């Protein structure tokens, strides 16, 4: 039996734009389909909660899973089917976006959940040469707030699809994490250097590179990240600027890779993971999809993730035409990435050493009097 409280949450209440006979008929058909879906899905959530109670994992006070998480698990499962039962993402812009938003709210109501309209925001990414007009998306009679950026799962997403704001956010959080450990960890003389470097990897580097698997980086982004990396390592190792220690020597003393090598490793592993996904998964559709009709803006095109991936493969001496074949096997792909990143790091350090030697040799060479 389905509780009456679930049925009451899906009751139809006409708004000012749904008073015509055609709107009422379509709305009644949708409500009927929702009730039919309700009769088969709600017992699944209730059975899931009952199983969790039998296993004693539903008590949040004792470290268990909150009760609402079970409904979210069911929603996620239904979204990941090859033919999703519940909507996965918002579709075309405009009126259909409001319609799909309403469907998403109705689907949440089937499980006793409610979408917070105060926390729900709308971000519109402009097409080339398109004049910005604030979007108007409604759920019922409430208009959602239009923003230029918002934070989702700790990552800052902007309307121009750049990572500058996200990079500033990552640097601030990593700098805060590094500063909290200054007296307890970095200035602690009783701790060995490998221990400090291990904590630095686990706390600061992971905070700095959170979500970097999908970053599209330019050279100035890498310089900012590498500068922060070097500053932290010099503080940990107690190296002052007057000691004239090169960046390569700092990395060798700390026994740690450069930021660019870490980014290459994380992005190549993520690309292999996406390639091994099933064809109906949204990340794979986004990676391999192309626009059916579009017009490129004037000037140099913006760098895409595909361009960044192709450059990373070339830097690691991996053929971009064969990487998808290598990525099919997870263990083989990881071993190839490990060897390729090690090759890149060694080549990068050697080039910096040679560049420094040439610079020093140029300074010591006496000018030809003739």
pLDDT of 213-268, one tens digit each?
989 999 999 999 999 999 999 999 999 888 889 999 999 999 999 999 999 999 99
Residues 198 and 173 in one domain: yes
**Residue 349 and residue 248: Cα distance in Å, rounded?**
6
Q: Is there a domain that residue 129 lies in?
A: no
Residues 102 and 8 in one domain: yes
Residue with tokens 């979210």, as numbered in its chain: 72
Residues 313 and 250 in one domain: no
Contact between 275 and 284 (Cβ < 8 Å): yes
Query: What stretches of 238-318 show up as alpha helix (H) in DSSP?
Result: 247-254, 259-275, 282-288, 305-315
- Residue 335: give the domain boundaries: 263-291+303-352
Residues 236 and 286 in one domain: no
Residues 112 and 190 in one domain: no
Q: Is there a domain that residue 250 lies in?
A: yes
What pLDDT sits at residue 346? Answer: 92
Q: Is there a domain that residue 130 lies in?
A: no
**Residue 88 and residue 90: Cα distance in Å, rounded?**
7
Residues 274 and 241 in one domain: no
Q: Is there a domain that residue 86 lies in?
A: yes
Q: Which two tokens stand for residue 100?
A: 């799909």
Query: What stretches of 55-163 show up as alpha helix (H) in DSSP?
Result: 67-79, 95-109
How many other β-carbons are positioned within 10 Å of the β-carbon of residue 33? 11
The ranges of the chain with pLDDT < 50 are 1-19, 30, 32, 34, 89-95, 370
Contact between 24 and 14 (Cβ < 8 Å): yes
Our count of domains for the chain comes to 3
With H, G, I as helix, E, B as strand and everything else as coil, classify residue 219.
Answer: helix
Q: What percent of the chain has pLDDT over 70?
A: 69
What pLDDT sits at residue 166? Answer: 93
Q: Which two tokens stand for residue 158?
A: 């902007």
**Residue 308 and residue 178: Cα distance in Å, rounded?**
29
Give the relative orientation of helices 219-237 and 164-180 as an angle to the nearest 10 degrees: 0
What pLDDT sits at residue 130? Answer: 74
Residues 73 and 46 in one domain: yes
- Pick the last residue of a domain from 233, 256, 279: 256
Residues 44 and 88 in one domain: yes
Residues 115 and 172 in one domain: no
Residues 13 and 117 in one domain: yes
- Angstrom CA distances, 161 to 164, 215, 216, 290, stand at 9, 10, 9, 17
Residues 244 and 274 in one domain: no
Q: Is there a domain that residue 181 lies in?
A: yes
Q: Is there a domain that residue 359 lies in?
A: no
Q: Is there a domain that residue 370 lies in?
A: no
- Pick the last residue of a domain from 229, 256, 283: 256
Residues facing 143 on adjacent strands: 138
What pLDDT sits at residue 41? Answer: 60
Q: Is there a domain that residue 135 lies in?
A: no
What pLDDT sits at residue 91? Answer: 44
Contact between 258 and 348 (Cβ < 8 Å): yes
Residues 218 and 172 in one domain: yes
């Amino acid at each position: 039996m389905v509780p009456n409280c679930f049925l009451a949450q899906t009751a139809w209440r006409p708004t000012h734009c749904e008073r015509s006979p055609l709107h009422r008929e379509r709305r009644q058909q949708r409500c009927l389909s929702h009730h039919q879906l309700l009769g088969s899905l709600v017992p699944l959530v209730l059975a899931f909660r009952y199983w969790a109670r039998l296993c004693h994992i539903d008590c949040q006070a004792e470290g268990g899973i909150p009760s609402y998480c079970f409904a979210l698990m069911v929603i996620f499962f239904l979204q990941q089917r090859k033919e999703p039962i519940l909507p996965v993402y918002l579709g075309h812009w405009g009126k259909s976006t409001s319609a799909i938003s309403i469907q998403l709210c109705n689907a949440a109501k089937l499980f006793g959940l409610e979408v917070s309209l105060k926390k729900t925001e709308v971000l519109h990414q402009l097409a080339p040469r398109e004049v910005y007009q604030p979007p108007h998306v409604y759920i019922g009679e409430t208009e959602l707030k239009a923003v230029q950026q918002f934070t989702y799962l700790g990552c800052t997403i902007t309307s121009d699809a750049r990572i500058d704001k996200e990079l500033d956010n990552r640097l601030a959080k990593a700098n805060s994490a590094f500063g909290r450990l200054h007296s307890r960890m970095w200035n602690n003389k009783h701790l060995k250097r490998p221990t400090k470097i291990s904590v630095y990897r686990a706390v600061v580097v992971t905070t700095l590179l959170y979500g970097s698997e999908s970053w599209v980086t330019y050279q100035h982004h890498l310089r900012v990240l590498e500068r922060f990396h070097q500053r932290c390592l010099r503080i940990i190792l107690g190296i002052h600027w007057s000691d004239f220690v090169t960046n390569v020597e700092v990395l060798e003393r700390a026994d740690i890779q450069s930021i660019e090598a870490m980014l290459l490793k994380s992005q190549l592993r993520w690309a292999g993971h996406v390639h091994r996904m099933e064809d109906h998964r949204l990340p794979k559709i986004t990676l391999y999809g192309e626009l059916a009709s579009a017009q490129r803006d004037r000037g140099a095109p913006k760098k895409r993730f595909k361009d960044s991936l192709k450059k990373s493969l070339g830097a690691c001496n991996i053929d971009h035409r064969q990487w998808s074949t290598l990525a099919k096997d997870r263990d083989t792909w990881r071993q190839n990435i490990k060897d390729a990143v090690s090759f890149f790091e060694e080549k990068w350090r050697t080039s910096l050493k040679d560049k420094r030697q040439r610079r020093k040799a140029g300074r010591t060479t006496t000018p030809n009097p003739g």
